[in-house]
Amino acid sequence: MSIIEKIKIIRAQTGISILECKKALIKNNLDISNSILYLRKIGVLQAAVKSLRNASDGLIGVVINKSRKQCVIIEVNCETDFVSKSDDFQQYMEYLCVYFMANKDSKDNNYCYDNFTSNIQLEELRLNLIAKLGENIILKMVKRISLKTGFMFSYVHGGAQYGKIVSIINVSNYIDNDSALLLDISMQIVAMNPKYVSIDSVPLDILESEKKLNTNLTNFFKNNVLLNQVFIKNNDISVEDSINNKFTVLDFNRFEVGLN
């Protein structure tokens, strides 16, 4: 077998550059197995160093089960938008979404980065990806939402399943004919960033604080309350008017890269 053919095999299995594959082969007497092992060892060491670098870009992914009663949201950070758009990074996102939807072994539905470093399987996958892509990668957040009542609908800004901003809306009933409207309201949450569902859900201490500041509460509600906001698809009506009693918005969540 020629050295070029061996380089192709090593590159296919490791994703490392042709030059590094060639160096590894020469260092390991043209032995493919030892070259792959060597590359993985130095890759982990390099990844450990890169793990100290800041990672403020990345993507958020969401997956909702068929019953629309459960969903998992993950955030993975990297250093550049270029890497977040790569096939390898998005395949990693897909793997994590499937993994955390299937693995419900934690009593806590909300995870943070420290939970992942002790998971050997996930940590090895992360380190290998760092070595391959050349950037620090952090599995920053996993959040699982489970509903007892209602149904979930999601919108991902910038992609079908992964993007920079994600909204999850919880509604009282799910009717296929209302799917376009549900999408519009989910987009509204992403674009207008409301803080509360309805006026009744605004905490009393927040209202009291605004009153002390002589805030125009009508404007405050239009800016911060989802149902009172001007509907993005029709500026002549509110979000509540657009729903027109077809369903009730029970709750919503909004996630943005770097802000969770």
For residue 243, what is the domain's CATH number?
3.30.479.20
**Based on the structure, what is the number of domains in the chain?**
2
Amino acid at 99: Y
Tens of pLDDT along 131-170? Answer: 788 888 888 889 989 898 999 999 999 877 899 999 999 9
Residue 156, SS3? strand
Using a cut of 0.85, tell me whether the model's pTM lies above it: no
Q: Are residues 27 and 74 in the same domain?
A: no
Q: Are residues 61 and 138 in the same domain?
A: yes
**Angle, CA of 154, 155 and 157, to the nearest 5°:** 155
Structure token pair of residue 23? 């160096």
Contact of 56 with 77, CB cutoff 8 Å: yes
**The tokens 């207008």 sit on which residue?**
192
Structural domain includes residue 205: no
Q: Are residues 20 and 116 in the same domain?
A: no
Q: Are residues 16 and 116 in the same domain?
A: no
DSSP bridge partners of 251: 170
* Length, in residues, of the chain: 260
- The boundaries of the domain holding residue 76 are 57-194+229-256
Q: Are residues 147 and 66 in the same domain?
A: yes
Q: Are residues 143 and 233 in the same domain?
A: yes
CATH number, domain containing residue 15? 1.10.8.10
Amino acid at 36: I
Count of C-beta atoms within a 10 Å radius of residue 57: 18
Q: What is the largest CA-CA distance in the chain?
A: 81
pLDDT in the model for residue 108: 44
The one-character DSSP state at 36 is H
**The tokens 């409207």 sit on which residue?**
181
Q: Are residues 187 and 248 in the same domain?
A: yes
Which residues of the chain are modeled with pLDDT < 70?
15, 41-54, 104-119
Tens of pLDDT along 7-16? Answer: 888 877 776 7
Q: Nearest 5°: phi and psi at 45? A: -65, -45
Q: Are residues 19 and 137 in the same domain?
A: no
Q: Are residues 45 and 156 in the same domain?
A: no
Structural domain includes residue 176: yes
Q: Are residues 249 and 148 in the same domain?
A: yes
